[in-house]
Structure 1
């Protein structure tokens, strides 16, 4: 009897499940729409930000899913490539955080909040970096002649093949193609070197020097002229997310030297993501010299490798 009663109940009242679910979804939609920010509000926030932001400032949108909205509304003038595809936040003295719903950029957690302004449901916060150290030289900005040159050499020094600086249009493709191949680049035998943007293991954009290793017994060598040295060479390297997330590829080795002096090296293994490194340059502090960088790997198959470094 009890079983029959339960079956009877479900038959009698099951028809209410559909409208109940519909009402729940409608309620959720109302909550989402009620918290939405209108186009006019975003436009007003853009103009207020324009008055706040300084040339060397970082500009971030929080939570991160609002970044596409920020790029669209704020435009290339404010949401520049340098601000959108930063290597790390340490090189910015200040940041303007454009946030909604009380969210914040986790990378700025230790920064001092010195000012705040509300624009409808958008908060514009000015933050200062408590451990800022100015950049002396950014290698990404030197990837062009005569500031730098490139060539491929065999590791046994049996042959050296100069790279040619070429101008052209960037090349891109569908998922799996990798970072856009820059139009302006050093074209080398079997590889190239130029500035691009890589999507790292967390799918974050990173502006860096796209320099796939030549593979085998060869090294891709870049020489940066007139680098100003401080106490540290600070940088990052990584591979395009689709090339390293399966962790099947060989590691990539990055070696830095000044003349005959080895500064050090950094290794990147699949799965490391956007990995940082720091090398001491104390013996060259206050001096200007040429910096040589060599990139090697056991093979070149899907080694969509990108690196960046600064002196400070």
Structure 2
């Protein structure tokens, strides 16, 4: 997920975001503010407010008169964990009705006492602690909104479940792929590969630098390769490995480990067992608990060309990328 694209809008118009979580948002006419959407999720800025599905930051105005009355989503892979600070959680609470707020624990579970540390830590490659700031802890997620801004606070949410909660009772459609758009005096026609069309006031490119909208609108755009590779995956991890991780790095929900070659690993997790898709048999031949974990690995792209590699890395072949990352880690 790379690149950002934003727009400003006034109240009383619709927004359609296609392919990257396509969204059509209607703002009531008496809300004279702006809105924007970025490439990583659905993001709206209203009256000095910044809202993104999965991450919420910078709200300054309660949104009692902000209404989402129609949403369409196309070809969106849902995953990852996302972090909330106290400011972000306050922003979220300010823009959702109480009926939605009551369901937030489905996506942002309450802390597990004496098990989870809702904070961030950094370690070196041997597990030596480099940084673990003091974060304000809380007993339930609604307490986050009461934490003063001068305290550090953070929690981890399940992004896909958060989206389900926020889109409850909102029609969602999957499986659409944009091929081109047509601008008119009245708005924009969006054409899909199945021959269907949608009309909107504003079309938002929100799926990265290779999205067809950007290629059509700015064909001369050049992608700046900064020489870095970022690999992210959702992983179901058995308990015995989580126990080893905690023993080495501690129980912070967000953990960063620095490597020896300018590389780094970021892990975000909740220490809450998940329902197992398949049983994992440990050495005692018994069912073992599993945890849903997000693992991100950042490294210099030059390492992709090491002559010592026993296999070729192909960006279009995820298996080769995974094997390469495992080899480097």
Give the TM-score, by structure 2 length: 0.22
- Which protein, 1 or 2, shows the higher relative CO under an 8 Å CA cutoff with sep ≥ 6? 2
- Normalized per residue, the structure richer in strand is 1
From the two aligned structures, give the one with the greater helix fraction: 1
